[in-house]
Structure 1
Amino acid sequence: MTATSSRGAQTPEGRERLRVPPVLMYHSISPSALPDPHRVRVHPHRLDRHLRLLRRLGLRGVSLAELVRAHDRGTAAGLVGLTFDDGYTDFLEHAAPVLARHGMTGTVYVVAGRLAGRNEWDDGPRLDLLDAGGVRAVAAAGHEVGSHTLHHVHLRGADPAVLADEVGGSRRVLEEVLQAPVPGFAYPWGEFDAAAAEAARAAGYDHACVTGDYLPGDRFTIPRFYVAPGDGAPQLLAKLARHSWRMRGVEAPGPVR
């Protein structure tokens, strides 16, 4: 019996390009009607409709760590990665119950140096961030906690000392909070360069994700689709279809026996 390998071609640096299923990127999940100039807020009812659609398609949402592990085992078919950037407090109140209702999990990327703070990197409105207890509650509910730097800084072009502090320091803070390994990292604003990706490897992460980029598309630059506040079924279906189309361009080796 033959099966097609889920492993991709090699990047110019000799690293494997991952032929992973699509990964969706959410931020705040909230019913608030306050202004949302940065388009980070998705209503819980809309998230519920998204997950219902995934189920109708025979797909199951999982954390990025679970998705990567499944890829490594060759069992990632039928999965979709669900990620939630910045670590807003509304994840526990509004996102976690919806995910539980559908039997799905996700990854919450936490800005480790701003626990119990607010999203000071934006020019408003201000949104509350998880404290240490909230981070532990996310993990206790079965979701992955990932790192999103210490202070949500731009990493592309950053000095080596800044990279080491923001990328490695955030992992140390979260592992102290959780008393458990933190394998995943997300680059703020999805921005990265070769030095930032190398900093994630050097800090001991197992994988890292970007936003919308497909090259190099290796384990430390996993692409994601941003989910906008108004995205409905047509937009979600288009993202899934686009990912499938783009993955056809990632050359896979011949069949394995």
Structure 2
Amino acid sequence: MAAPIESTPWIAMYHSVGDRSDDPYRVTVTPDRLDGQLAWLRRRGLRGVSVSDLLAAPSRKGLVGLTFDDGYADFLDHALPALRSHGFGATLFVLPGLLGGDNAWDPLGPRKPLLSAVGIREAAEAGIEIGSHGLTHVDLTTADDVLLKSEVVESRAVLEELTGAPVEGFCYPYGSLDRRAVDTVRDAGYAYACAIDPGSIDSPLALPRVHIGQNDTAVRLFLKYRLHRLRRRPVEGI
């Protein structure tokens, strides 16, 4: 049975914010589009917050989670100023094994630089929640036990040393998860983990999210906000 509407948090999934002239994976929104989407939330009386703040709120009414995957360097240039202008928070899921690298896992798209250690600290100091996206953007469902544990456990340790703050959230690369991945995330001590369409909302280690892209104007945002629960697909063992 689906969770009641009131208990199902709405978490938006963004990636890169910048030039989208070459964007085969549809992971980029322009700064103007992001600003318009955040303005739409404000007009509806909604406030964007980090996932930790969303889950900790006594009432989630009027709150939406905002997440940015992969830790693109353009977060500081474009996403952070937009969030600040609207008074919103967010969670940034980064890859501490690829500091200052690029999105080599997207072979068809342009190379986009990732945040360095300095950039991640700057985002954290600005009040952005930092979460782990693994070390190197590996599909955890295909990783052997040693690699799986390294991606989940070591990434958290590196980020906590880098930021000097606890890392509570994890994000499954590609949105891919299974029982083994969820158990490893749980054993590593994360408080929550984000996916895309993982099924039941009952587990904070398998939170569904809604992809937000360049084509999401007011009408599409409204539909996604109201209907996202119907888009979830069950995942065996979760």
Report the TM-score when normalising by structure 2.
0.91
- The residue type paired with residue 43 of structure 2 is R
- Specify which structure has the bigger relative contact order, considering alpha-carbon pairs within 8 angstroms and separated by 6 or more residues: 1
2:38 is the alignment partner of 1:45? no
For residues 155-174 of structure 1, the aligned pairs below 5 Å read: 155-174=140-159
For residues 106-255 of structure 1, the aligned pairs below 5 Å read: 106-123=90-107, 124-215=109-200, 217-243=202-228
Taking every aligned residue pair, what percent have the same amino acid on both sides?
47
Distance 1:78 1:58 in 2: 6
Q: Find the counterpart in structure 2 of residue 4 from structure 1.
A: none
Identify the match of residue 59 of structure 1 among 46, 53, 58: 46
Distance 1:246 1:148 in 2: 23
5+ residue gaps, structure 1: 1-7, 10-17, 248-257
5+ residue gaps, structure 2: 233-238
SS at match of 2:69: strand
Offset at residue 121 of structure 1 (A): 1.0
Q: Find the counterpart in structure 2 of residue 29 from structure 1.
A: 17
Bigger Rg, which one: 1
Offset at residue 245 of structure 1 (A): 6.2
Distance 2:110 2:230 in 1: 37
Check conservation: 2:197, 2:231, Cα contact below 8 A.
no
For residues 75-90 of structure 1, the aligned pairs below 5 Å read: 75-90=59-74
Label 1:197 to 1:244 Cα distance change in 2 as closer, same or farther (>3 A): closer
Report the TM-score when normalising by structure 1.
0.84
Check conservation: 1:157, 1:193, Cα contact below 8 A.
no
SS at match of 1:145: strand
Offset at residue 120 of structure 1 (A): 1.2
Offset at residue 231 of structure 1 (A): 1.3
Distance 1:212 1:152 in 2: 18
SS at match of 1:82: strand
Offset at residue 244 of structure 1 (A): 6.0
Q: Find the counterpart in structure 2 of residue 13 from structure 1.
A: none
- Cα deviation digits, residues 90-149 of structure 1 (max 9, x gap): 000000000000000111100110011111111031000000010000011111010000
